[in-house]
Amino acid sequence: KQEVTQIPAALSVPEGENLVLNCSFTDSAIYNLQWFRQDPGKGLTSLLLIQSSQREQTSGRLNASLDKSSGRSTLYIAASQPGDSATYLCAAPTGGGNKLTFGTGTQLKVEL
């Protein structure tokens, strides 16, 4: 059974700081891993999908890495801005139908 853990649970940083969010998963037989952003009371916005054959995937100020052998993924946010404040979720697919198992998320607050 896939279990996904995210640390830290919450993070507060000053604007401009670079930061790293961590995600670990127990079943490394995954094809890919997705990172999402969720604003309070809102839906899930897909940020990055990193395939198991890739080590990194970049989109703007975001960079995700994946290490299947250690069961870890990181999301790096460069030069954080107040608009980055949200909860960040990682999700790993399992099973033949590729259902996603989500972590509990990291709640990020970027302060002016």
Partner 1 sequence: EPEVTQTPSHQVTQMGQEVILRCVPISNHLYFYWYRQILGQKVEFLVSFYNNEISEKSEIFDDQFSVERPDGSNFTLKIRSTKLEDSAMYFCASRVTGMRQPQHFGDGTRLSIL
Least distance from C-beta 60 to partner 1, angstroms?
17
Least distance from C-beta 45 to partner 1, angstroms?
8
Binding to partner 1 (CB under 8 A): which residues in 24-83? 31-32, 34, 36, 41-44, 46, 49, 51
Least distance from C-beta 43 to partner 1, angstroms?
4
Least distance from C-beta 25 to partner 1, angstroms?
13
DSSP for the chain, written as a single string: ---EEEE-SEEEEETT--EEEEEEES----SEEEEEEE-TT--EEEEEEEETT-SEEEETTEEEEEETTTTEEEEEE-S--GGG-EEEEEEEEETTTTEEEE---EEEEEE-
Which span (19-27, 62-70, 71-79, 88-96) binds partner 1, by CB under 8 A?
88-96
**Residue keyed to tokens 């000053």:** 14
Residue 22 in contact with residue 72, Cβ under 8 Å?
A: yes
**How many residues contact partner 1, by CB under 8 A?**
25
Instruction: For partner 1, give the closer residue by CB, 14 or 41.
Output: 41
Residues that bind partner 1 (CB under 8 A): 31-32, 34, 36, 41-44, 46, 49, 51, 89, 91, 93, 95-105
